[in-house]
Amino acid sequence: MSTDSASIARPYDDRAFFGHPKGLSTLFFTEMWERFSYYGMRAILMLYMTTTAATGGLGWSAEEAAPIYALYAASVYFLPLIGGWLADRFIGAKNATFVGGIIIMLGHFTLAFPQMTTFYIGLILVAVGTGFLKSNISAMVGDLYSKEDERRDAGFSIFYMGINIGAFLSPLACGFLAQSEGFRSWIEKMGLDPNSSWHFGFACAGIGMGLGLIQYLIGARNLRNVGNVPVPEKAADEADAGGSNAKNTAYLIKIVVLVVAACAIIGYAAASQGFSTALSYVLMPTVVVAALIGVFLTGAQDKLTTDDWKRLAVLIILFAFSTVFWMGFEQAATSFNLFANSLTDNRIFGWEFPASWLQSVNALLIITFAPIVGAVWMYLGKRQPSDAVKFSLGLLFAGVGFLVVAYAANLTTGGKVSPLWLVLVYFFHTIGELCLSPVGLASMTKLAPARMISLMLGVWFLSISLGNYIAGRIAGEFVADAAVLMRIFLIVAAIMIGAAVLLFAISPLVKKLYTQPEEVVPVEPA
Ligand code: GLU
Ligand code: ASP
């Protein structure tokens, strides 16, 4: 890295938070609480829907619950693409994050009311709020650093820790309130319906988001001008470009046409094939293709160089493989959660713990192993694998996790199995996640052309969205039958390991396309 660039005064080279800009602390704690709310609610959502009405759940079958879960989780990760776009062009990431936090909090509190309408409204609010918040808060992390600041990757790792601290604590808290016998009998003693315990779990998620918002308001000034409303700067750019107002209008028209076309396709499918067929087979592919076309239209508007296009090509390749990864990984909250609820013997020293507590394992393992995996990459230095190879390793580990869960499913013919099997599965999935996820997130901000950063983070979340959708739908096949489960898990394992091998094979090509910004920068001053 050039020392010249390090000596140029930048507004954000303060080192107040573990050697990082103070703004990182604000973003860290806000995201920690937002993820607390998301993962706490998510830990109990599938279980709430499939638990009998006699114990406070909705009493649905896995087949009925899966499409709702799939749509919800897919929306949570899809809407950040739109939220990122809105922030980049109109409202700024800082405002979007605040508005998103409020909507998320209201969503969880809505879920705290035990009615069918509040259930659906609550889910919609959480998804919409996350759309405003998720990619924008990550984009602000990227914006704390200049392109050549070497602390950027470390900043994302710290931020990732915040995510996982939230994700670790909340299933314990929300799961205890929702599912434990102890809490149920306590509220009964207080004169309340013990079946309302689930709604205490949802309310706990809302309180978490509320704490995140307070913290965001207090720390907002640490962000200085990061995430500000983009208008003045944009107006100047447009004037320079020679009155590109007309171009902008043409672009917006194209976006509107795209959205209308996507809605028409989905509407036509629903009218001709029926609502559930449209939902199962047409909705997600249409949304994903339309979103990717939208991203390209946006990119083309900003006059991309050949290098930019090459980088976008890399992003699309990473997108496809990352989707396969999340399709397996995100079964944590769906199939594995159902597995934990009905097929594992959840007792420590004779005390039965809530199945949802196992939802904390991944986050705990991330907190433990992230520094170790980071140290291994540091130790390897220049010899460390390329991003594509790291992705391929991620897929391989996740595939091995599925082989383990398939084996454990087979053992359930003899009765409930030890929860340690799931811990082992989560271990493999965590190592896989550590190879793939931080690399993916950081590549998006590194590879994206300057004005598309939030948007490209949206593309990253789009792959998680699609992965979540498929993971949710797979859970619809869940039945507590060893042979069926083993078959499902083996198919998923085969897909993941196959994808790992394919990506490994094409990784030299990906590396060729991948022009690191660092490789370009030193040429300029010379
Ligand atoms: N578990 C992560 C989260 O919810 C997944 C997304 C990512 O890799 O950043 O934030
Ligand atoms: N490891 C996930 C993420 O980084 C959290 C989880 O699935 O619990 O946010």
pLDDT at site 146: 84
Average pLDDT over residues 271-288: 91
pLDDT at site 136: 92
> If residue 347 lies in a helix (H) or strand (E), which one and from where to where?
strand 347-348
Return the ligand 2 atom nearest residue 160 CA. Answer: 4
Average pLDDT over residues 110-119: 97
Distance separating alpha carbons of residues 61 and 194, to the nearest angstrom: 22
Return the ligand 1 atom nearest residue 164 CA. Answer: 1
| Residues 463 and 443 sit within 8 Å (Cβ to Cβ) | no
pLDDT of 228 > 70? The answer is yes
Confidence band of 2 (pLDDT split at 50, 70, 90): very low
Does the beta carbon of 437 lie inside 6 Å of ligand 1?
yes
Average pLDDT over residues 462-483: 95
Does the beta carbon of 463 lie inside 6 Å of ligand 1?
no
pLDDT of 382 > 80? The answer is yes
Confidence band of 512 (pLDDT split at 50, 70, 90): confident
Q: Which of 167-171, 267-271, 522-526 has the lowest mean pLDDT?
A: 522-526
| Residues 308 and 299 sit within 8 Å (Cβ to Cβ) | yes
CB-based burial label for 147 (10 Å; 0-12, 13-18, 19+): middle
pLDDT of 120 > 80? The answer is yes
Return the ligand 2 atom nearest residue 362 CA. Answer: 8
Confidence band of 519 (pLDDT split at 50, 70, 90): very low
Does the beta carbon of 462 lie inside 6 Å of ligand 1?
no
Looking at residue 500, its amino acid is A
Chain mean pLDDT for the chain: 89
Does the beta carbon of 464 lie inside 6 Å of ligand 1?
yes
Query: Which residue of 157, 163, 361 sits with most ligand 2 atoms within 8 Å of its CB, as the best mutation to test the pocket?
Result: 163
Confidence band of 179 (pLDDT split at 50, 70, 90): very high
Confidence band of 13 (pLDDT split at 50, 70, 90): low
pLDDT of 390 > 90? The answer is yes
Q: Which of 11-25, 300-314, 391-405 has the lowest mean pLDDT?
A: 300-314
Protein residue closest via CA to atom 10 of ligand 1: 163
pLDDT of 107 > 80? The answer is yes
pLDDT at site 470: 95
Separation of CA 26 and ligand 2 centre (Å): 20
Three-state helix/strand/coil letters over 120-148: HHHHHHHHHHHHHHHHHHHHHHHHCCCCC
Average pLDDT over residues 337-344: 97
Return the ligand 2 atom nearest residue 363 CA. Answer: 8
Cα three-residue angle 453-168-101, rounded to 5 degrees? 45
pLDDT of 239 > 70? The answer is no
Looking at residue 265, its amino acid is I
pLDDT at site 149: 84
Query: Which residue of 37, 362, 423 sits with most ligand 2 atoms within 8 Å of its CB, as the best mutation to test the pocket?
Result: 362
The residue with greater pLDDT, 512 or 222, is 222
| Residues 114 and 154 sit within 8 Å (Cβ to Cβ) | no
pLDDT at site 39: 98
Average pLDDT over residues 200-228: 95
pLDDT of 448 > 80? The answer is no
Ligand found nearest the CA of 170: 2
Protein residue closest via CA to atom 7 of ligand 1: 437
CA 366 to chain centre: 15
Separation of CA 363 and ligand 2 centre (Å): 5
Average pLDDT over residues 379-402: 94
Return the ligand 2 atom nearest residue 39 CA. Answer: 8
pLDDT at site 336: 98
Separation of CA 368 and ligand 1 centre (Å): 16
Confidence band of 102 (pLDDT split at 50, 70, 90): very high
Cα three-residue angle 132-135-138, rounded to 5 degrees? 125
Separation of CA 164 and ligand 2 centre (Å): 6
**C-beta atoms surrounding 120 within 10 Å:** 14
The residue with greater pLDDT, 153 or 277, is 277
pLDDT at site 440: 83
Distance separating alpha carbons of residues 93 and 118, to the nearest angstrom: 29
Separation of CA 39 and ligand 1 centre (Å): 11
pLDDT at site 144: 92
Confidence band of 42 (pLDDT split at 50, 70, 90): very high
Confidence band of 454 (pLDDT split at 50, 70, 90): low
Separation of CA 104 and ligand 1 centre (Å): 17
Does the beta carbon of 283 lie inside 6 Å of ligand 1?
no
Confidence band of 429 (pLDDT split at 50, 70, 90): very high
- Read off the DSSP letter of residue 524: T
Distance separating alpha carbons of residues 31 and 394, to the nearest angstrom: 24
pLDDT of 167 > 80? The answer is yes
Confidence band of 504 (pLDDT split at 50, 70, 90): very high
Percent of the chain surpassing pLDDT 90: 69
Torsion (CA) 87, 442, 334, 164 in degrees, nearest 10: -90
CB-based burial label for 306 (10 Å; 0-12, 13-18, 19+): exposed
pLDDT tens track for 61-96:
999 999 999 999 999 999 999 998 899 889 999 999
Secondary structure of residue 326 in the 3-state scheme: helix
pLDDT of 356 > 50? The answer is yes
Backbone dihedral angles phi then psi of residue 417, each to the nearest 5 degrees = -105, 170
